[in-house]
A = this chain, B = another copy of it.
Amino acid sequence: MKDPRRPDGSEMQKPRVAVVGATGYAGFELARLLLRHPQINKPTFYLRDGSAQVRCLTELFPQLRGWGEAPCRAYSVEAVASSGATVAFLATPHEASLDLAPPLLDAGLRVVDLSGAFRFREPDTFVAWYKLRPPARKLLEQATYGLPELYSAALPQARLVANPGCYATSVVLGLRPVIDAGWADRSRGIVCDCKSGASGAGKEPKRELHFVEVDENFRAYGLFSHRHTPEITDHLGLESAEIMFSTHLLPVARGILSTLYVWLDRPREAAEVESLYREFYAGRPMVRVWPAGRLPELQHVAHTNFCDIGFALDASGERLVVVSCLDNLGKGAAGQAVQNLNGMMGFEEAAALLC
């Protein structure tokens, strides 16, 4: 980790960031990460609707006492713009991000949006899957899809970063090497069977998220209708009809594990597959490729920003199962947002992400 106190020293020279809407699970994780980021000033948190009486972060999250403190303010574009912040994180619902991002960009801030609002090239894709009004095409054209392992080159200039969906991150990172290499027999289709912990469903109390409904339970949901589907097809270059993508709810708080099934075009050796993945992710500190024969587990990545990828190949060398896992609040949300910040600011890619 870089030294937070430079020889010439003043904290004032470090960039300032603003966080809007840090009340959910991803927001809390983002707060925790930014508080300890050695290369930025202490962030300011902006709350919408009626939380104006909250003055500091530990009123919202008493369990943060002792880790540091940060001011909370009522949200307004003006408040953020006049704060000296150069980057704003939006940890807000999709519809809120649609509203909040344009004026912040107009005010000269760079924006990292954790919602789905700006993840697609086509406004219609968003409308079709989210049933909300379309984002401006102009914004989509300038937005960077914030998956640094694929698109980090765009980050230094990016003004609007659309932080990817948690499932999409897991599936795209898990499959991109084998698809880019042309090894998949796409005519047979690819199956992505994904399982997530309950924090991925948000903090709002709902009947189906009651402890008793999740504990000792397991269920599929959102089959053929999950909103992360178009991110996956877009960034893998697949047609919908070539893929089956399913999501399931695990009785754990955090973590996604995706089991990805690929029929190969011709027999391969396990060593080839391992090399393919190792080379693809060479130099990327947040992806860990597991050696052939060992598979990553949810526990290995919980509370981290890693995406761990392992695989199994059958004896014939033609059937490949890739296992990709990550923490949905880490690499699947807040951690990735910080990784994007690091790319935008020219920090080390893993800054604040290895504590």
| A contacts, CB < 8 Å to B | 1, 3-5, 7, 25, 36, 38, 62-63, 65-68, 187-189, 191, 193, 195, 198-199, 203, 205-207, 209-221, 223-224, 241, 244, 246, 248, 250-255, 257, 259, 261, 263, 285-286, 288, 290, 294-303, 306, 312-316, 318-319, 321, 323, 354-355
A217 partner residues in chain B, CB cutoff 8 A: 252, 297-299
Beta-carbon nearest neighbor of A321 in chain B = B223
Given known contacts A66-B285, A205-B205, A316-B241, A321 and B220 CB-to-CB distance under 8 angstroms: yes
In the complex, what residues of B have CB within 8 A of residue A223's CB?
295, 312, 321
Contact of A294 with B209 at beta-carbon distance under 8 Å, contacts A216-B302, A259-B248 already known: no
Partner of A298, one of B5, B206, B218: B218
**Are A193 and B319 neighbours in the complex by a CB distance under 8 Å?**
no
Query: Does the CB pair B261–A216 fall under 8 Å?
Result: no
29 CB-based A-B contacts, threshold 8 Å: A3-B5, A36-B354, A63-B301, A67-B354, A191-B261, A198-B211, A205-B206, A205-B207, A211-B215, A211-B251, A212-B253, A215-B215, A215-B216, A215-B253, A216-B252, A216-B253, A216-B255, A216-B302, A217-B252, A218-B250, A219-B257, A220-B257, A224-B312, A224-B319, A244-B319, A246-B261, A248-B259, A303-B303, A355-B355
Which of B213, B255, B259, B296 is in CB contact (< 8 Å) with A246? B259
Partner among B38, B216, B259, B300 whose Cβ is within 8 Å of the Cβ of A220: B259
Who on chain B is nearest to A5 by CB? Answer: B3
* Across-interface contacts of A213 in B (CB, < 8 A): 211, 299
- For A355, list chain B residues within 8 Å (CB): 36, 355
With A and B bound together, what is the CA distance between A142 and B4 in angstroms? Answer: 40
Q: Tell whether, in the assembled complex, residue B67 and residue A218 are in contact, meaning their CB atoms are under 8 Å apart.
A: no
State the Cβ distance, A292 to closest chain B Cβ, in Å: 11
- Chain B residues with CB under 8 Å of A354's CB are 36, 66-68
